[in-house]
Amino acid sequence: MYGLVACIGLFLAALLVWKRSSSFRYAPGPYRWPVAGNAFQVSTEQSWLQFSAWGREFGDMVYLRIFSRSLLILNSTESIKDLFEKKSSNFSDRPRRVMGELSGFGPSLVFKSGDESVRQSRKLLHSELNFRAVTENHAGVIEENARRLCLSHIQRPEDFLKNIQDMAVSIIMRVAYGHVMSVGSEPDELTNLAKEVMRNLSLVLTPNKYLVDGLPFLRFIPAFFPGAKFQNQAAQCRDTLSRFWNTPFERVVEQMKSGNALPSLISNGLKTNDSEADTDPEILKKAAGDMYGAGTDTNISAISSFFLAMTLHRNIQQRAQEEILSVIGPYRLPLLADRPNLPFVNAIVQEVFRWNPALPFGKLTGHSARVSDVYRGFDIPAGTLVIANIWGLLHDEKWYPDPLTFNPSRHLSAHPPPVPTTFAFGWGRRSCPGYNLAESTVFMAVAMTLATCDISPPVDTQGNDVLPSVKYTSGMIIHPMPFQCRIVPRSPEALELLLNTC
């Protein structure tokens, strides 16, 4: 009965939208069927590939309709800048996700449209994560965790993907909460809680997973009603999220009272010259949670991509190692301050962000038109979901020839292409406030690994290299499919340096 009512409601809503849409002039796109629109044409697997193909066929703006929802795919920097920067007052909202609201994520920057609390949250994050703050306040934390990462790789190479996860989580937990993860131990309660929140967020963001996102009136159905399993799931998510927002915050407050709180977003936000600040505690809690939510999986993806690339391209690895040796020498390990003097290592970092960007669409949720607009003579109805196809931009052959090939040298040419990180971290008012921390984290992981480790593919019983395939997951955040590689210390001296500094 529930399914029948839902289907009828969806059909009637889509029919109404279809009839109204005949008076609009939309951007080009594939044929839209009555009622369903393009619902059965949009792939749920790596849809950025399909959007790129449609971009080549229809142009840099592609209009789609999924039942009652309008989508506009942007495939050029011109259209992205025009809408997300020049018209940012109208295109900085977030599309509504009812399941996200039911699950408690509504106040998060990922879901919340622009208002005063969003501005305050972004201001807090910028103050903690701007370039100067990262280089002066967080460089030591990043460098320490990069050293621990490499030592973990050498001691437990079979767990290299887990080692990467531990590094990314450890840095964010330290910067956001002043929480120090124990080396080599099982994740503690707070870390497990954070990881559970990320799993829940991933589910909530999965396209077309919850019918309530397409039929918002279903949010009023009680949990005991047949087919309302999503209500129980949402309640569990709310409980976990509430504990994640409050537990570390309360812990920092107690540490501050006892005088042993480490500097962090929370502790810095709660005090100004040893006096109470005017920061709203609720906004501070959410900002710290947003730092974790936006900064872990994306860094894990980028660093994992680096290991995949080095497994496949030993020549690139060797060239970078030679650069590090010539600049830094064999008697110390890389520092964040060495970054300006390592152009090829920096080129590897840029190519990592370009090759398979963690966020193919630059955002977890996209943008939404606050009010109806007209651009290039095409109508953009209010509520349209506007998506920047970042993957497509970073694989545009006019900028990046042979785009599927990992080639850092392209960024060192006399006429280099656009810097990939200018695309990868979003545009306009809602660009990622943590990009300095993310770039610094990936750079240190790359530089420290190249300085201390050799990465190579596994071998078969005949001693032949077994090269991994370049395959990635689907979703709003993508990761390399699990692969294997060999990791050994570059030299006894490199291992000794790690042992003496970890």
| pLDDT tens-digit readout, 167-215 | 999 999 999 999 988 765 666 788 888 888 888 888 887 766 788 887 7
Produce one character per residue of 199-208: b if its CB has 16 or more CB atoms within 10 Å, e if not. Answer: ebbeebbeee
- Residue 272: what pLDDT? 54
Read off the pLDDT band of 403 (50, 70, 90): very high
Closest residue by Cα to residue 237 from 111, 404, 56, 58: 111
**Type of residue at 68:** S
| Residue 136 burial (C-beta neighbours within 10 Å; 0-12, 13-18, 19+) | exposed
Q: Do 75 and 393 form a contact (C-beta atoms < 8 A)?
A: yes
Q: Which of 77-91, 428-442, 449-463 has the lowest mean pLDDT?
A: 428-442
Element (H, E) at 27: none
- Residue 13: what pLDDT? 54
Read off the pLDDT band of 30 (50, 70, 90): very high
- Residue 2: what pLDDT? 45
Residues 433 and 438: their CA atoms lie apart, in Å, by 10
CATH architecture of the domain 119-187+262-355+410-501 equals Orthogonal Bundle (1.10)
Q: Which of 51-60, 112-121, 228-237, 442-451 has the lowest mean pLDDT?
A: 112-121
Q: Which residues are annotated as a binding site?
A: 432
- Residue 172: what pLDDT? 92
Q: What is the pLDDT of residues 265-287, one digit of tens each?
A: 999 888 753 444 467 888 898 88
Q: What is the pLDDT of residues 353-362, one digit of tens each?
A: 999 999 998 7
Q: What is the mean pLDDT of residues 467-479?
A: 91
Closest residue by Cα to residue 203 from 165, 161, 232, 234: 234
Mean pLDDT of the chain: 88
Q: What is the mean pLDDT of residues 206-229?
A: 82
Residues 450 and 443: their CA atoms lie apart, in Å, by 11
| Number of Cβ within a 10 Å radius of residue 55 | 20
- Residue 233 has φ and ψ, to the nearest 5°, of -60, -40
Q: Which range among 109-123, 200-214, 394-408 has the greatest average pLDDT?
A: 394-408
Q: Where are the beta strands (DSSP E) in 122-164?
A: none
- Residue 386 has φ and ψ, to the nearest 5°, of -110, 120
12: pLDDT strictly greater than 70: no
Read off the pLDDT band of 328 (50, 70, 90): very high
Q: Model-level pTM greater than 0.75?
A: yes
If one compares 299 and 225, the residue with the highest pLDDT of the two is 299
- Residue 206: what pLDDT? 75
* Rounded (10°) angle between helices 492-501 and 435-452: 140
Residues 199 and 206: their CA atoms lie apart, in Å, by 11
- Residue 277: what pLDDT? 47
Strands 453-456 and 61-66: unpaired
| Residue 455 burial (C-beta neighbours within 10 Å; 0-12, 13-18, 19+) | buried
Element (H, E) at 367: strand 367-368
Q: Which residues are annotated as a binding site for heme?
A: 432
Residues 167 and 368: their CA atoms lie apart, in Å, by 34
DSSP codes of every residue in 239-267: HHHHHHHHHHHHHHHHHHHHT-PPP-HHH
Q: Where are the domains of the chain?
A: 2-113+365-390, 119-187+262-355+410-501
